[in-house]
């Protein structure tokens, strides 16, 4: 039986190796580098499991901070309500106020409202999930469609998982895909209701730009289910 010390060593080794593979495999040079932190809080207010319907109502909050060279440049609060309908399908509605504080630019506050469909299926140690998001950018007055696909592999250490993901974002005012996020990382289930996730992302964007610009970042997410 694997000891706790061996499990920790295995986890750290996988994390370093996985992030190195992801970052070194990038075919482009990023113009900016960031660190992004996320805090997720989800609370189940109602739950009812039937033969077909598996209902659950969950208010949630996500706080995201972005840093460049140690300086906070972006912050947003995602305040929403998630309704699980089936074991493999949920819907959620949310409102997202955000503030941009990039160096050399004026502070900008923006508001976004969204409605998502969340799908997920498990195949042994693999789980595939898909989020189809509809965002209304109220301040900038355009609609954005987002499609995120994530594949997660549960390792032999039962509280450690690896994942890869890709998300595209299509904007109505320019009628084109303006952003793509490609990355992956490692998730650690610290407790039944507490999760830590570390991941790498290469974000390509050309919104209001003639060419693609790239941001490379390391993300740290702490999530709790109350």
Q: 83-113, pLDDT tens digit by residue?
A: 999 999 999 999 999 999 998 889 999 999 9
Phi, psi of 67 (to 5 degrees): -125, 140
Tell me which H or E stretch contains 19.
helix 4-24
Q: Which residue has the tokens 């549960």?
A: 154
Which 8-state DSSP code applies to residue 69? T
The model carries a pTM of: 0.87
Q: What is the rounded distance in angstroms from the CA atom of residue 60 to the CA atom of residue 62?
A: 7
Q: Which domains does the chain have, with CATH numbers?
A: 4-225 (2.40.128)
Strand, helix or coil for residue 24? helix
* pLDDT the model gives residue 17: 58
* pLDDT the model gives residue 35: 97
Q: What angle do CA 211, 25, 146 make, to 5 degrees?
A: 50
Tokens of 212: 């693609």
């Amino acid at each position: 039986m694997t000891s706790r010390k061996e499990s920790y060593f295995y986890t750290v080794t996988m994390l370093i190796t996985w992030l190195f593979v992801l970052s070194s495999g990038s075919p482009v040079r990023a113009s900016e580098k960031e660190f992004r932190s996320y805090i997720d809080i989800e609370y189940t207010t109602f739950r009812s499991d039937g033969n077909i319907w598996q209902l659950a109502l969950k208010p949630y909050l996500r706080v995201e901070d972005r840093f460049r060279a140690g300086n906070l440049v972006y912050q947003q609060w995602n305040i929403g309500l998630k309704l699980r309908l089936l074991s493999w399908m949920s819907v959620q509605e949310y409102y997202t106020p955000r503030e941009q504080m990039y160096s050399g630019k004026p502070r900008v506050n923006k508001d976004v409202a969204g409605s998502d469909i969340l799908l997920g299926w498990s195949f042994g140690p693999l789980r595939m999930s898909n989020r189809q998001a509809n965002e209304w950018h109220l301040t900038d007055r355009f609609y954005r469609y987002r499609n995120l696909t994530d594949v997660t592999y549960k390792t032999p250490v039962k509280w450690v998982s690896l994942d890869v993901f890709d998300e595209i974002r299509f904007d109505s005012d320019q009628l084109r895909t303006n952003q793509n996020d490609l990355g992956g990382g490692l998730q650690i289930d610290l407790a039944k209701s507490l999760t830590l996730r570390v991941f790498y992302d290469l974000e390509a964007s050309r919104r209001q730009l003639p060419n693609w610009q790239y941001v490379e970042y390391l993300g740290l997410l702490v999530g709790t289910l109350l």
